Amino acid sequence: MAVRDLYPTSLRLLGRPVLVVGAGEVAARRAKALLDAGAQLSVVAPDAVQSIVELHRAGLLDWQPRRYREADLEGQWFVQTATGDPAVDGQVSRQAEARRIWCVNASDHQESAAWTPSVARLDDVTVAINAGGDPRRAVALRNAVLTALETGQLDSPGSSPLKLRREHAGSVALIGGGPGADDLITVRGRKLLAQADVVIADRLGPRGLLELLEESTEVIDVGKSPDHHPVPQQQINSLLVEHARAGKRVVRLKGGDPYVLGRGGEEAEYCRAHGVEVEVVPGVSSAIAVPAAAGIPLTHRGLARGFTVISAHQDLAELPEGRDHTVVLLMGVATLRRTAVSLATKGRGEGCPVAIIEDGFGAQQRITIGTLGGIADQAEALGVSSPAVVVIGDVVRISPFAPTDFRLAGLSASEHSAH
């Protein structure tokens, strides 16, 4: 059988007699799918796996604990073989063919009159894939299509529930978009973004995903940059409630995680105070992800047992002392010189390693590594700009981008402890 010989169709088996010959694990999977389709199911096999036995005891199928007989085909609309014995499967297939009954031969797809596709369902969408008789390939393709539908990479137009089936009341989803790369948003966040009627987007979120939205999706840009907040926070809060009350699915797309220095808590409180349902979708925080782009772990055995994430606009005086406590600064470029002087105290010193990662995971990513004593001059000379994450502590020495004179990449954890 060639793939071009196939005529894809879907059988409506509700209430119709169907026979499964065999009662092993494969047969059990086929039996469950046939029962889900509403078939009046009979199973013939000398022995059966426990799941078949339980379905029989529950009265959901009729199991005949014996060998197959040709008379079992009488009155059947559809037959599935899965005995594991090619001779028996072939016999059933030939006898079904003679009676003009469609039969799936699990032992030999080339001689089978019908093929069972790999199936997945999402709401009212059914995905069924044949791949030249290769079940593993069919499963892989099915999973890829299902994932694309769930995440919005593949849209389902028309009456699809992905876009048109909505609740009576609107809702708000606060989504953390991750550090900026389009593919570092969570699957849940990507799915909700594809369903949105209105997207209220920050400057540092995964902006490339906005171009993939349907034309009917309204995008409101409320992006902020240092010392420039064109849309005040109170107005953003009001926009969320206004559109949700109009019965729309609203996505607040933020960079990083909405609850890590992202004012997501304020927005959620405001919505709930005004009777609007809110879902919070965590994101990969830039504070943790961006240092990883430079090969910097925030904790490392023998070097650092903890870390603090803080905005550079806050008081740094109360931070734990020493280079063995990593400090991650967000929004720290504008105040870098003052911050470096402040952090050089309390056991760090001017020689404490510092890394600045600009546009982490973005097209313009750049890594600058130095020490507290000279990092401000370096940054000024290079024109370092936001968005950037600043990391201070001995863990910077782990980075493969660190100068060789203070890098620790080749040392063991015990050797780290000696420094």
- For the sheet containing 198-201, what is the strand order? 218-221, 198-201, 249-254, 171-176, 277-281
264 and 303 share a domain? no
Percent of the chain past pLDDT 70, that is, above it, reads 89
Mean pLDDT, to the nearest integer, of 382-405?
92
Query: What pLDDT, on the 0 to 100 scale, is given for residue 166?
Result: 45
Residues 143 and 225 in one domain: no
Q: Assess whether 391 and 408 both reside in one domain.
A: yes
243 vs 158, more confident: 243
Report residue 123's pLDDT band, with 50, 70 and 90 as the boundaries.
confident
Q: Residue 334 maps to which CATH number?
A: 3.30.950.10
pLDDT band (50, 70, 90) for residue 216: confident
Domain boundary pick from 237, 262, 284 = 284
> Is 225 or 160 the better-scoring residue by pLDDT?
225
pLDDT of residue 264: 94
Q: Specify whether 317 is located in the same domain as 239.
A: no
> Same domain, yes or no, for 110 and 74?
yes
Whether residue 304 sits in one domain with residue 408: yes
346 in catalytic set:
no
Name every residue whose Cβ is closer than 8 Å to that of residue 206 and which is 6 or more positions away in sequence.
177, 178, 180, 181, 182, 184, 185, 253
Q: Which of 165, 181, 199 finishes a domain? A: 165
Phi, psi of 140 (to 5 degrees): -60, -45
Within this chain, do residues 154 and 231 fall inside the same structural domain, yes or no? no
For residue 10, give Cα distances in angstroms to 28, 127, 260, 320: 20, 11, 49, 65
> pLDDT tens for residues 271-330?
999 999 999 999 999 999 999 999 999 999 989 999 999 987 777 878 888 999 999 999
**Residue 32 annotated among the catalytic residues of the structure:** no
Pairing of strands 40-44, 17-21: parallel
What's the CA dihedral at 191, 197, 201, 207 to 10 degrees?
50
Residue 185 shares a structural domain with residue 271: yes
Q: In this structure, what CATH number is given to the domain that contains residue 258?
A: 3.40.1010.10
Per-residue pLDDT tens over the stretch 31-71: 999 999 999 999 999 999 999 999 999 999 999 999 999 99
| 189 and 76 in a common domain | no
pLDDT tens-digit series, residues 136-184 = 788 888 878 877 777 666 766 554 444 444 444 699 999 999 998 888 9
| Count of domains forming the chain | 4
The active-site residue out of 72, 89, 202, 324 is 202
Q: Are residues 25 and 86 in the same domain?
A: yes
End position of a domain, from candidates 106, 135, 165? 165
Length of the chain: 419
Burial class (CB in 10 A: 0-12, 13-18, 19+), 159: exposed
Mean pLDDT, the chain, as a whole number? Answer: 87
* Chain position carrying tokens 């782990």: 398
Range with the poorest average pLDDT among 149-158, 338-347, 374-383, 398-407: 149-158
Question: What is the structure's pLDDT at 419?
Answer: 42
Task: Report percent pLDDT > 90 for the chain.
Answer: 61
CA distance 191 to 187: 6
pTM over 0.75: no
Residue 350: domain span: 288-417
Question: Both 351 and 298 in a single domain?
Answer: yes
Same structural domain, 341 and 243 = no
Asked if residue 114 has pLDDT above 60, the reply is yes
152 to 174, 186, 200, 328: CA distances (angstroms):
17, 12, 17, 33
pLDDT digits (tens, 9 = 90+) for 343-373: 998 779 999 999 999 999 988 899 999 999 9
Residue 105 half-sphere exposure, CB side, CA atoms within 13 Å? 22
Across the range 249-257, mean pLDDT stands at 95
